[in-house]
Structure formats: C-alpha cells, structure tokens
C-alpha cells in the first residue's frame, strides 16, 4: 500500500513538472541582431585568386511563432559597405555590379521557419524567406545554427548567391574569369527582445 502511494505521488509530481514546462514553453520570440557583433564575409573565386571581402549589417529584427511556424521581420545590409581591400576593384563592384548608389540596401525578409527555438536549448533551424538584391525578390532558404553565449544567442549560416543568374553584371573579361556565385558566411549575435509563452 505504501509502495503504491509513493508511486502515485511520484507520477503526480512528474506530471505536474512536465505540465508546468509545457505551459511555460515559448510560443513567440522577438530577436534583435547586434550590428557591432555581426560579421558578414563573402568569398569569390577567380582564375587568378580567391577574393575575400565583407559587408556591414545595418539592422535586423526578427519574430518567430513556434505555434504556426510563421516568421517576420527584416535584416538590412548596407550595400555600399561591401569591400575587398582593393580600392579599384571595390569601386568597380559598386559602380558596375551592385550599383550601390541606386540600390543601397540588401535585405532578407523571413516568412517561415522549422525547428526548435527554445532559448534554453538552441539548435539548428531552417528559415525560408525573400532575399532582395539589386531591387529584385528571390526566394532563399537558410540553415541556421544557434549557439548559446551567455544571455544571447549566436547564429551562424552559410549560403551561395548566384548573382549573375539573378541579373547582376558578370565582371569577367576574356582573360580574367570570375565565378558566377558568391559564397556568404554570417555570424551574428542575436539578442532576445521579447519571449511570449503559452499559459
């Protein structure tokens, strides 16, 4: 009788703990990206050497709803901040390829995500959205890896941009050939702004 009573109490305590966790699990999370702690690196192969460069994040705010999988917000990169360490090459990139004066922003607008966004146990997620480059919308799927760093999350993603297929000028010449896609590596500190939980 005492054994059955102890077992019943243990089951009740365990059920209450699981229920409490389920009731307090996050359903909607708002994040803000820290421009000062975000690095955006790009790599472009050529017949002569591999070019490395960077861009600067201007702003980024995101919202994820784990109940529906909906995502919203906007990440904005300063197009004119793109640089490779070679002044002449960078001026040509901004004047002839990116046309930065006419298209000053490169943006990504998330629309949907899959995966767990529990800040206490982050992991990989998949984010679908619209990437806007040179004034045109392009669907883009990102695989994002999340790591906990103190009170913040670090997000990392890698993806390729087929810039020539997307309508930008191919900077290749008869002798000097340039790859038709640029490789992007992003590491960003993501600060939770608001966490809404189910009741």
Q: What is the pLDDT of residue 86?
A: 93
> Which one has a higher pLDDT value, 151 or 101?
101
- Please tell me the predicted confidence (pLDDT) of residue 9: 39
Count CB atoms within 10 A of the CB of residue 125: 19
Report the pLDDT value the prediction gives residue 11, as an integer from 0 to 100.
39
CA-CA distance, 88 to 95, in Å (whole number)? Answer: 11
pLDDT of residue 26: 59
| H-run or E-run covering 34 | none
pLDDT band with cut points at 50, 70 and 90 for residue 14: very low
Q: Which domains does the chain have, with CATH numbers?
A: 26-197 (2.40.128.110)
Cβ neighbour number for residue 90 with a 10 Å cutoff: 17
Task: Decide if 168 contacts 97 (C-beta within 8 A).
Answer: yes
pLDDT band at residue 38 under the 50/70/90 scheme: very high
Report whether pLDDT(24) > 90: no
pLDDT at position 121 is 66
User: Rounded to an integer, what distance in angstroms lies between the CA atom of residue 183 and that of residue 198?
Assistant: 39
Helices marked H in 56-114 — which ranges? 87-92
Residue that is written with structure tokens 């004066």 in the block? 101
Query: Can you tell me whether residue 89 is helix, strand or coil?
Result: helix
Q: The pTM is what?
A: 0.81
Which pLDDT value is given to residue 191? 81
The mean pLDDT of 139-162, rounded to a whole number, is: 89
**Mean pLDDT over residues 48-65, rounded?**
94
List the structure tokens of 179. 């790859």
Q: What is the pLDDT of residues 163-186, one digit of tens each?
A: 999 999 998 887 889 999 999 999
Confidence (pLDDT) at 148: 80
């Amino acid at each position: 009788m005492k054994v059955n009573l102890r077992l019943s109490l243990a089951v009740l305590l365990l059920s209450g703990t699981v229920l409490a966790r389920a009731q307090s699990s996050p359903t909607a999370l708002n994040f803000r990206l820290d421009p000062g702690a975000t690095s955006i690196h790009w790599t472009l192969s050529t017949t002569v050497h591999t070019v490395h460069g960077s861009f600067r994040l201007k702003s980024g705010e995101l919202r994820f709803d784990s109940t529906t999988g909906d995502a919203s917000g906007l990440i904005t990169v300063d197009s004119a901040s793109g640089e490779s360490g070679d002044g002449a090459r960078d001026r040509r990139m901004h004047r002839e390829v990116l046309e930065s004066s006419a298209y000053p922003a490169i943006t990504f607008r998330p629309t949907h995500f899959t995966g767990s966004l529990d800040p206490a146990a982050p992991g990989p997620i998949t984010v679908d959205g619209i990437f806007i480059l040179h004034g045109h919308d392009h669907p883009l799927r990102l695989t994002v890896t999340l790591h906990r760093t103190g009170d913040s999350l670090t997000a990392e993603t890698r993806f390729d941009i087929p810039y020539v297929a997307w309508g930008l000028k191919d900077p290749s010449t008869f002798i000097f050939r340039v790859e038709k896609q640029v490789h992007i590596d992003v590491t960003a500190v993501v600060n939770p702004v608001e966490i809404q939980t189910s009741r």
